Each structure stands twice: as C-alpha cells, then as structure tokens.
C-alpha cells in the first residue's frame, strides 16, 4: 500500500521535495473498522498550514506522518454492519491508496444523488464553508453588493452562486481571464475581475458603483486591501482564508484598516467550517436541492494518478485549478 508523507517542513512555497512516497503492508481491518480503496483525494490550501509547526486550530502534521485530509473511497471489506462492500464513503484518511478507517469517522455517500467526488467539494467541506461563511456571517440581503476573492476556486464559486440566489449583485475576483469568463458566462456573476490586471483597483471601483456590503475573503493580501477601501456602512467581512499569505516567509504588514471598520461600523469575522458541524445536514440538504434545481453549478479540476498528488497540491498556489482540485486515484 502506497502513501505520501511529509518529508520535511516547507520553507516558503512548498515543493515536491517536501513530500515522500512510502510502501506499507496492506492494512487489515479490526473490529469496527473498514478497509477502503481511495477513489478521490482532496488537496486543500489549509494543508499548507498543517505542514508548518506554528500553533493553529488543527495540529500540525508531524514530519514522517501521512498527509491527512479528505478522501472518497469504496469499501472493500467491513467489520461494521453499517458499511458493506461496494459502498462509497467519505472520510479523512488522507494521501494513501488504501486505508483502514474507524467506521465512526466515515460518512456514507449516495452515488445516485450526485457524482461521489462532490462529497469533497460542493456537497462537502468546501460547499459547507461557502454556505456558512456567507449566510451566517455575511447575511446577504437582496440588492446588496457581494465581492468574493478566490472566486473561481472551490469555495469561492459556491459563495458567488449562493449570493446570486439571495438576490445580491456579485463581483468575483480571480487570477486568469479564463476564470473570469467562466464566472460571468457560466455562473452568472454580475462582474468578475482579474487581480493581475494593472488597472485592477479602478476596475473594482467601477464594478462596485454602490460600494461593498459583503466581502467574502479567501485570499487576503493586496486584493483584500483594495476591496476593503470600498466597504459600505455596516459591511460584513467573513474571513475564510488568506491564501496569499500562507507561503510568506516574513509576516505581511498591509495597510491598517481598523479605522475603515470603525467608521463604517463594519463586522470582520473569521470562521472555521468545522465549528458548524451540528448544522452540516441542514446545509447539505439545501446545497443538494440547489444543485438538483440547477441553481448552483460546480467545477472540478481532476488530476489523474496518485503519484501526482503533490503536484495537484502545489498547483493550488499557482491557481492551476478552476473549481475543486481533486486527484483521481482509482476507478469508481
């Protein structure tokens, strides 16, 4: 059984040498456990945080330890009556081809409802992140302007579409013209802007003639500085991610914006999707309905082959992905 471990802690931008492949004997399930064959692996920006040893909300990966993270697989052998051979399951067993997993940590997925890969995206962690961050903290009201950064990524594209369902004007920010086109032409964003453009700040101001009521922040850094200058009275700013800062070797000191929050009586609030666990079912139900009714669409960027997992992860930091980045490890 092959698995991928953290070979060393990345300095700045991670690279292939930070990971190593390892052969292990095939695991055997004990009482209450299930043997799964990985079908899809998730690679996620938050994993970068766990690769460093700084204190955070989840414990760091140890050097030499398998990279843990979301995965979808098929049950090969089960000692638990709730799971049968052939069932599709989602769990957190991470970057390995096969895994023995405690049945209590698995969620059964219904392949009739949607493709099983969606359990890692729109009907999984990233969809839930969009849902709770926007609805719980953002509280969108019809007619307001919502700006979302990282808009063509897994979380961002769902944020923008839920914001449309709520009747807002939606402006997305992303890193390529292809992504920009996708957001406006395929997903119905009212405007989308490439932050690499030299005139980005002017374009942003033009795209938000009534200012910004909600800024859903996936990236931080200079993109966020530009959006925050445009916030309206009582703006809400869910802080979801700060990917522009994850690989910095020195802390970033941006413009200090507290006075903008003060004068606009704005709310800026960080959140972690894991804190909403008790409401996951309610949210998944609503997301699945929107999906079924064609009110939200999703994109996946699927790299084939377990051996390409580190590359898929690294690609997140250069924006290779449109939508949820996945690795296909074996056939469904």
Tokens of 306: 């377990």
CB of 138 to ligand NDP, least distance (A): 13
Residues 227-246 that bind ligand NDP (CB under 6 A): 240-241, 243-244
Tokens of 77: 């052998």
CB of 316 to ligand NDP, least distance (A): 4
Q: 223 to each of 182, 218, 219, 245, 310, how far by Cα in Å?
A: 20, 10, 7, 11, 27
Residue 170, beta-bridge partner list:
146
CB nearer to ligand NDP: pick between 99 and 155:
155
Site for ligand NDP contains 153 (CB under 6 A): yes
Helix (H, G, I), strand (E, B) or coil at 213: strand
> 316, 326, 327, 329: which one contacts ligand NDP (CB under 6 A)?
316
CB nearer to ligand NDP: pick between 1 and 247:
247
β 107-109/300-304 pair status? unpaired
Helix orientation angle between 154-165 and 125-132, rounded to the nearest 10 degrees: 40
CB of 44 to ligand NDP, least distance (A): 5
> 60, 115, 211, 319: which one contacts ligand NDP (CB under 6 A)?
319
Helix (H, G, I), strand (E, B) or coil at 99: strand
Cβ contact 36:98 at 8 Å: yes
Site string for ligand NDP, 261-280 (x = CB under 6 A): ----------xxx-------
β 212-216/231-239 pair status? parallel
CB nearer to ligand NDP: pick between 1 and 52:
52
CB of 273 to ligand NDP, least distance (A): 4
**Cα–Cα–Cα angle for 70, 75, 80, nearest 5°?**
105
| Interface residues toward ligand NDP, by CB under 6 A | 44-46, 126, 129, 150, 152-156, 174-176, 179, 218-219, 221, 223, 240-241, 243-244, 271-273, 316-317, 319, 321, 325
């Amino acid at each position: 059984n092959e698995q991928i471990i953290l070979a060393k802690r990345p300095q700045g931008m991670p690279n292939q040498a930070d990971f190593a492949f390892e052969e292990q004997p095939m695991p055997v399930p004990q009482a209450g456990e299930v043997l799964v064959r990985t079908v899809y692996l998730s690679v996620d920006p938050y994993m970068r945080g766990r690769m460093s040893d700084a204190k955070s909300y989840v414990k760091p990966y140890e050097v030499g330890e398998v990279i843990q993270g979301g995965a979808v697989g098929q049950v090969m052998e089960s000692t638990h009556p709730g799971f049968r051979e052939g069932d599709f399951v989602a769990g957190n067993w991470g970057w390995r081809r096969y895994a023995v997993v405690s049945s209590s940590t698995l969620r059964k997925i219904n392949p009739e409802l949607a493709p099983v890969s969606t359990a890692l995206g729109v009907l999984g962690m990233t969809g839930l992140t969009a849902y709770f961050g926007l609805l719980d903290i953002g509280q969108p009201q019809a007619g307001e302007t919502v700006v979302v950064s990282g808009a063509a990524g897994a979380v961002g594209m769902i944020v923008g579409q839920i914001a449309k369902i709520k009747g807002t004007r939606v402006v997305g920010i992303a890193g390529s013209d292809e992504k920009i086109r996708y957001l406006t032409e395929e997903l119905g964003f009212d405007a989308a802007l490439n932050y690499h453009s030299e005139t980005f700040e002017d374009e942003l101001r033009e795209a938000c003639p009534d200012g910004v009521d909600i800024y859903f922040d996936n990236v931080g850094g200079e993109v966020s500085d530009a959006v925050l200058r445009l916030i309206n009275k009582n703006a809400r700013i869910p802080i979801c991610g700060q990917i522009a800062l994850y690989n910095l070797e020195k802390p970033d000191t941006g413009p200090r914006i507290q006075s903008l929050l003060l004068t606009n009586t704005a709310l800026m609030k960080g959140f972690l999707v894991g804190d909403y666990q008790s409401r996951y079912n309610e949210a998944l139900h609503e997301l699945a309905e929107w999906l079924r009714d064609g009110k939200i669409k999703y994109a996946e960027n699927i790299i084939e082959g377990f051996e390409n997992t580190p590359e898929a992860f690294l690609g997140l930091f250069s924006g290779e992905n449109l939508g949820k980045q996945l690795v296909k490890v074996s056939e469904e």
